[in-house]
Amino acid sequence: MRTSTFVRALKRHAILAFVVLALAGIASAGNATPPQPGPLDISGEINTAPFRIVVPAAWNGTLLVFQRGWTDKADHQGETDNRNPTITPTAGIRDALLARGYALAGSARKSNGYSVEDGLDDVVALVSYFRENMAMPTRTILWGTSLGGVITLETAERNGGAFDGYLAINPGGAGLPRHVDEFLVLRLAYDVTFGMPGSWGTPGDVRDDLDYEAEVFPILSAQAGDPANLGRFEFLRLVTGIPGSGITPPHGYFPGALIGLPFQLVTEFEAELERRVGGPVAQNISHTYSLTPEEKAYLAGLGVDADPLLEAMNARRNIAAGQEQRNYLEHFADFSGLIKQPVLTVHPFVDAVAPVTSESAYRNTIAAAGRSDLLVQVYTNTIGHGSATTDQLVAAIQALDEWVRTGTRPDPSAFPAALGFIPDFVPPPWHQLELAGAHGADKGGVAAEAPVAAELEPGSGMGFGVRALGNGDRGAQLVVTTAKEGRLRIRLYDMQGRVAASIADEPFVSPGVRSFDIRNGRKEAGSLASGIYFYRVDATEGIRKGKIVLVR
């Protein structure tokens, strides 16, 4: 780690202050009065990741560690990497939190682009540095926006001891596999509607050095500027599920909002991700593309016949990514739901980048893992990705801080309508209601956002189901019903979220009903002990998750 002479002096001051306070007997994390290492404002690098830490003079004992969103990588002529560490989304939020006594820390991560893997390491290293060189916080909260929200949600499943609570702001809660597959929907819809230039690559394989600003935006801007194209852009928006079924965006918000960051993500963002993992990442082998009669009628009024466009898209449901690439997406990051501490999410109801429907997907993931008591989701009436106001984010931070401190879930009154929260808002389901074509080439799709109870019943009119049996002398069995041929994989996870055993991993199975005794699960050493496990069944038709009891 490199620091300036001034920073090293501040660091020695902080260490000395901490030692003196500790000797005085008031440095314990459990005391009402936290140690006071501030005021400090230091920066440096930890493992090549630039960081900044700011501690107010009257520190309240809570450390907020921030992760910023996706930051463009300087991979084209004239671009410069932004390597300045970020401790809050805006200066106004920074000042408001410091005024309330919060210590702030954040990094620029080791690299720009899709740097979730880097962020997972950086946040833990930064907390360790603070604890070793500043003081021991009474509470430590990780928070992030957009891609930083993805890092936050993934850390909530991986590092139970590093943080006491998590705040994710407009994150991609559906998980990276489903989101990159949504990127593919937008590219494919654009291809059948306008014709994707060959220089951009193909809908399933973006050219690895594609430059959004120089090559993509000028074309889109010209097309969006022609009023005759409004219907075609509305087709792109609706078939991609932006911002979600039943949500009416403000007049004039689209297509401008669509050709901005969403198209940057599906072109240049995807190009960087493909370079990072060594190949195409998106697929649609189990997608189905459709619109409601009302949506078709709306488009017809704009001069667009949606049926031939949908037919053209459905004829091209043969795009598949490599197994290695999909494994990376699942690891960085797809969510198991096995969170260990309180998680609060904040999402605008109109979001063209990470649609609010992703909150439905995340809610169902948490419910399937039996951790709903650790999740609170709130929504704002703001428009646009990352549009939460200073007052809304301060309210969220304070509510989560109180939840962590007392163990009591925030009351709805903590998120008043007067601040722009929507108290009773329920986000629409993730819009691929049948087969979402996500979660890996070996899995094929995600089933409808059905209640957990329905997911445990085979069939249920859905053609794919799992029933868990785990009582008495029946031991513990999973009865799996499939209606389509294809891949079948079953894994067990322990209470810490670790893979405990592989029950099945078949490249091809025919439709039917199968029973699996989890006592026969493959394990590196020894046998599975009696206890509670979480299962995940991945088939061509989708994913089922739940809890099962092993009785030996």
Q: How far apart are CA 297 and CA 242, in angstroms?
A: 18
**Residue for token digits 């005391």?**
31
Which residues neighbour 365 within 8 Å (Cβ) at sequence distance 6 or greater?
Answer: 173, 175, 335, 336, 337, 545
pLDDT confidence of 23, banded at 50, 70, 90? very low
Residue 291 lies in a domain: yes
pLDDT of residue 358: 96
Q: Are residues 301 and 357 in the same domain?
A: no
How many structural domains is the chain composed of? 3
Residue of 87 and 25 predicted with greater confidence: 87
Q: What percent of the chain has pLDDT over 90?
A: 63
DSSP 100-157: TT-EEEEE--SSSBS-HHHHHHHHHHHHHHHHHHT---SEEEEEEETHHHHHHHHHHH
pLDDT of residue 136: 94
Q: Are residues 78 and 12 in the same domain?
A: yes
Q: Are residues 289 and 237 in the same domain?
A: yes
Q: Are residues 158 and 222 in the same domain?
A: no
Q: Are residues 37 and 105 in the same domain?
A: yes
pLDDT of residue 452: 29
Looking up residue 360, the CATH number of its domain turns out to be 3.40.50.1820
Q: How far apart are CA 118 and CA 110, in angstroms?
A: 6
Q: Are residues 95 and 24 in the same domain?
A: yes
What's the average model confidence in pLDDT over 365-382?
Answer: 94
Express each pLDDT in 436-466 by its tens digit.
Answer: 333 332 333 333 222 222 233 333 344 677 8
Q: Are residues 24 and 89 in the same domain?
A: yes
Report the run of H or E that residue 490 belongs to, with start and end: strand 486-493
Residue 191 lies in a domain: yes
Q: Are residues 163 and 19 in the same domain?
A: yes
Residue 436 lies in a domain: no
Burial of 252 (0-12, 13-18, 19+ CB in 10 A): exposed
Looking up residue 501, the CATH number of its domain turns out to be 2.60.40.3080
pLDDT of residue 62: 97
Which of 321, 325, 313 is closest to 287 using CA atoms? 313
Terminal alpha carbon distance of the chain = 51
**Is 90 exceeded by the pLDDT of residue 167?**
yes
Q: Domain end: 268, 296, 328, which one?
A: 328
Q: Are residues 97 and 162 in the same domain?
A: yes
Residue of 445 and 373 predicted with greater confidence: 373
Residue 81 lies in a domain: yes
Express each pLDDT in 245-298 by its tens digit.
Answer: 889 999 999 999 999 999 999 999 999 999 999 999 999 987 889 999 999 999
Which ranges in 386-485 belong to alpha helices (H)? 390-406, 452-455
pLDDT of residue 287: 83
What's the average model confidence in pLDDT over 358-384?
Answer: 94
**Residue for token digits 């911002």?**
243
Contact 413, 254 (CB under 8 A): no
**Distance from the Cα of residue 234 to its chain's centroid:** 26
pLDDT of residue 292: 92
Global pTM reads 0.76
Residue 157 lies in a domain: yes
pLDDT confidence of 512, banded at 50, 70, 90? confident
pLDDT of residue 139: 96
Express each pLDDT in 56-112 by its tens digit.
Answer: 999 999 999 999 999 999 888 888 888 999 999 999 999 999 999 999 999 999 999
CA distances for 36 relative to 26, 59, 405, 443, angstroms: 10, 6, 19, 51
pLDDT of residue 527: 67
**Residue for token digits 């090549």?**
48
Residue 58 lies in a domain: yes
Q: Are residues 208 and 88 in the same domain?
A: no
Q: Indicate the average pLDDT of the chain.
A: 84
Count of all residues that appear for the chain in the document:
552
Q: How far apart are CA 293 and CA 191, in angstroms?
A: 23
Q: To the nearest 10°, report the CA torsion of 339, 160, 409, 59.
A: -140
What's the average model confidence in pLDDT over 513-531?
Answer: 66
Tokens linked to 31? 């005391």
pLDDT confidence of 8, banded at 50, 70, 90? very low
Residue of 259 and 550 predicted with greater confidence: 259
Q: Are residues 169 and 317 in the same domain?
A: no
pLDDT of residue 496: 65
Which residues neighbour 195 within 8 Å (Cβ) at sequence distance 6 or greater?
Answer: none
pLDDT confidence of 178, banded at 50, 70, 90? very high
* Pairing status of strand 465-469 against strand 477-482: antiparallel
pLDDT of residue 450: 28
Residue 27 lies in a domain: yes
pLDDT of residue 374: 97
Q: How far apart are CA 96 and CA 102, in angstroms?
A: 9
pLDDT of residue 453: 29
Report the run of H or E that residue 492 belongs to, with start and end: strand 486-493
Q: Domain end: 328, 345, 379, which one?
A: 328
Q: Are residues 149 and 189 in the same domain?
A: no
Express each pLDDT in 107-119 by its tens digit.
Answer: 999 999 999 999 9
What's the average model confidence in pLDDT over 207-217?
Answer: 96
**Residue for token digits 């079948």?**
488
Q: How far apart are CA 159 and CA 190, in angstroms?
A: 40
pLDDT of residue 105: 98
- Among 185-194, 310-319, 537-546, the least confident range: 537-546
Q: Domain end: 367, 394, 415, which one?
A: 415
Print the domain residue range for 464.
452-550
- Among 15-24, 222-231, 244-253, 404-413, the least confident range: 15-24
Residue 425 lies in a domain: no
Which of 106, 366, 321 is closest to 206 using CA atoms? 321
